[in-house]
Structure 1
Amino acid sequence: MSGVYLSKGLYPEEFLRPTVNFIRDTQLPCGSVPWFGGSYADPWDHVEAAMGLSIGGEFAHAVSAYRWLKDIQLADGSWWAAYKDGEVHNSERRESNFVAYFATGVWHHYLISQDRDFLLEMYPTVQRAMSFVLDLQTEFGDIHWAVDTEGNAKQDALVTGCSSIYKSLECAYNISVTLGEARADWLQARALLGEALANKPERFDRTWESKARYSMDWFYPVLTGALDKKTAKLRLQQRWDQFVVAGMGCRCVSDEPWVTIAESCELVMALLAAGDRDRATELYSWLHQWRLEDGSYWTGYQFKQDVLWPDEKPTWTAAAILLAADALTEYSPASHLFNEVRLLSEETLLTPMEL
């Protein structure tokens, strides 16, 4: 199915209910949401799936997802790269943007549920996670992308990863303000990181080949609010023809004939952030040809070979579909999260939190 055009106030709840159910039904009893049945879960994509559950009103399942991460958080505030069937699946590294994304998910769920008790429960986990992440920030503002098995920093930074952290710092700060404990240090770290993303390209991809061929490096600084709107519009326009295939979606990498649905959804939200609703709406309308009867979506389509590849229907792709629909229709109270930067001021403080 294709040609689903969404506008403000017209969230297709019936159409997207199977997509919510697909994520919910893939979730394990422990709360973990693997990529698909029998696969592993990584912290970033797990949080993405949890956000889809929140949009779908599956609050108990979303809370279970966040509690799973809370319960397995390591002493230094991090998580391993992947888990499977209750065990560590990849202990080679712990990635800073994976760890930071917990704050984005927690704030997203609070915006929708307004569950202050949930926010109080998760805040210590957020604090430990952000402490781990910011210990990896350099004097130049960029943040090392990971630590190895022994906890040693891998000395380089990723544009996409740091952009994701930039949004997570916004969310973490808003959590702290809401709970009466405004963390000015998080705000300062965010400003340093934003300066690096906007003005210090030499701080990224220092030890490996540039990742500029990846579409996420192109649009993530826009998606996460690291660029002003004028710069964001120009950035998206400059490489539009390299990445976007009309009638299909956004390529994962500029030099491969492969469009991917999750990246396309994220580009939809980046376009909204840049003020380009028309192209966002059109791009989203193309994506449902990759939908299956159970509401899931294929990872991507290799259009030179005319093959769906890989043979996977990830929960995080389904969640991206829901996030983009929410952003286009302004359905939930969290619909603005990836379209706008909204930093709370200390004047909005509620009663001091009770710990």
Structure 2
Amino acid sequence: MTDGPVTESGELAAAAELLACEGVLSAEQVRTTVEGIAALQRPDGAIPWFHGGHLDPWDHIEAAMALDVAGLPERALAAYRWLAASQNADGSWYAAYADAPDGVSEPTNRLCETNFSAYLAVGVWHHWLATGDEDFLARMWPPVRRAMDFVLSLQSPGGEIVWCRDDQGREADEALLTGCSSMYQALRCALAIAERVGSGRPDWELACGRLGHALAAHPERFADKGTYSMDWYYPVLGTALRGMAAERRIAADWDAFVVPGLGARCVSTNPWVTGGETCELALALWAIGDAERARMLLRDIQHLRDDADGMYWTGRVYEADDEGHRPAIWPREKTAWTAGALLLALAALAEEKATVAVFGGDGLPEGMLVACSVAECVAV
């Protein structure tokens, strides 16, 4: 059970001190944000975007990872138990569930998104790294295995993975760069889990190699969503790009997406900065050794903070539109995943071990080397 307020503990106090960052958040402010996320968690472990909103598996996991870095592993564990109990027979989850006070979450969007299902592996590996709980890893191995098998049933010969299957079994006809970048990170974490539990998965190794190669060398295999900032930084955040290739990618579109003093736009064509994208970009910058600009972005995005509860508004429109609407917070919602992304970025900057391992990528399996023709990647 997770209902009730957060009880102050040595772990929470130590985590708040670790995550505190000069010019961004004090330890007391970190604790307030942690308490804000925890207050949204239901007794069954589910973490909706906000009270009365909905929840989705990916953002639920991001919030659970934040609870781990904040010294609340039992609450994170409850979040993973909810996922295990909610998994569909084919290994997937639905794209959205209602936030039901009675704890019975009915799906509100029956698409099964591959990215949402794959992310379980990232959260499970992160929780194990944070806690060393071998029993947890053993219990979660079957849900991780089923989830990755579902995801890889939608992988194309060229390595890309289409983004969804509906409840009638119909598959999407395109792959998304952002989602596939996240799935590459998830596949690497799934391989690490498989190795730890002693279960070899050479099919996953080949799939990981194919997907990594597609992300690094074949942009034409993904739908063109270049106006979205996530398509810009996610190949870096998802560990597919590192070194000079990552630095060139970040430099190429910095001015298109970053608004000095305010954060990162969600879409390059709109005057709208968003907290989640800004914090994820900060994580990507940290991953390539640019901690200074990462801290700058986290400072810049504090205009979205509500000091009353430590939570963050999703975004802000910073210019009037053509119809004369004035700059304003929009939408009027403070989301668990925005606050979670901020805490994870602070954890990376503080060199918290689990977050460093998952987002830094060092030590994660990389899959098989592949050779690639026009349409298909095969093992070397």
Runs (4 or more) in structure 1 with deviation over 6 Å come to none
User: Is 1:202 the counterpart of 2:216 in the alignment?
Assistant: no
User: Is 1:343 the counterpart of 2:367 in the alignment?
Assistant: no
User: Is 1:277 the counterpart of 2:291 in the alignment?
Assistant: yes
**Residue 132 of structure 1 aligns to which amino acid in structure 2?**
F
Match of 1:63 in 2: 77
Match of 2:342 in 1: 321
Q: How far did residue 6 of structure 1 move? A: 3.3
State the TM-score, normalized to the length of structure 2.
0.85
Bigger Cα displacement from structure 2, 148-157 vs 123-132 = 148-157
Unaligned runs of 5+ in 2: 1-18, 320-325, 367-380
Match of 2:51 in 1: 37
Take 2:178 and 2:293, find their aligned partners in 1: how far apart are those partners?
22
- Residue 288 of structure 1: which of 289, 302, 326 is its match? 302
Q: How far did residue 5 of structure 1 move? A: 8.7
Match of 2:372 in 1: none
Matches within 5 A, 1:1-355: 6=21, 12-84=26-98, 85=100, 86-205=104-223, 210-292=224-306, 293-304=308-319, 305-343=326-364
- Kindly indicate whether the alpha-carbon contact (under 8 Å) linking 2:227 and 2:267 is maintained by their aligned counterparts in 1: yes
Change (3 A) 1:5 1:319: closer
Q: How far did residue 186 of structure 1 move? A: 1.6
- Secondary structure in 1 matching 2:178: helix
- Total equivalences in the alignment: 337
**Residue 207 of structure 2 aligns to which amino acid in structure 1?**
A
Take 1:143 and 1:72, find their aligned partners in 2: how far apart are those partners?
23
Take 1:67 and 1:341, find their aligned partners in 2: how far apart are those partners?
28
Q: How far did residue 169 of structure 1 move? A: 0.5
- Secondary structure in 2 matching 1:133: helix
Superimposed CA distance per residue, residues 301-353 of structure 1 (whole angstroms, 9 cap, x where no aligned partner) = 100032011000000001001000001111343334213342259xxxxxxxx
- Secondary structure in 2 matching 1:90: strand
- Kindly indicate whether the alpha-carbon contact (under 8 Å) linking 2:237 and 2:284 is maintained by their aligned counterparts in 1: yes
- Kindly indicate whether the alpha-carbon contact (under 8 Å) linking 1:30 and 1:68 is maintained by their aligned counterparts in 2: yes
Take 1:333 and 1:176, find their aligned partners in 2: how far apart are those partners?
17
Q: How far did residue 12 of structure 1 move? A: 4.7
Unaligned runs of 5+ in 1: 346-355
Take 1:340 and 1:149, find their aligned partners in 2: how far apart are those partners?
34
- Kindly indicate whether the alpha-carbon contact (under 8 Å) linking 2:164 and 2:171 is maintained by their aligned counterparts in 1: yes
Take 1:266 and 1:335, find their aligned partners in 2: how far apart are those partners?
14
- Kindly indicate whether the alpha-carbon contact (under 8 Å) linking 1:299 and 1:310 is maintained by their aligned counterparts in 2: yes
Task: Choose between structure 1 and 2 for higher RCO, CA contacts under 8 A separated by at least 6 residues.
Answer: 1
**Percent of paired sites with the same residue:** 48
- Secondary structure in 2 matching 1:31: coil
Match of 1:353 in 2: none
Take 2:69 and 2:51, find their aligned partners in 1: how far apart are those partners?
22
Q: How far did residue 197 of structure 1 move? A: 0.9
Q: How far did residue 234 of structure 1 move? A: 0.3
Superimposed CA distance per residue, residues 39-87 of structure 1 (whole angstroms, 9 cap, x where no aligned partner) = 1111111111111111111111111111111011111000111111223
**Residue 299 of structure 1 aligns to which amino acid in structure 2?**
T
Take 1:265 and 1:182, find their aligned partners in 2: how far apart are those partners?
35
Bigger Cα displacement from structure 2, 95-104 vs 324-333 = 324-333
- Secondary structure in 2 matching 1:197: helix
Change (3 A) 1:127 1:234: same
State the TM-score, normalized to the length of structure 1.
0.91
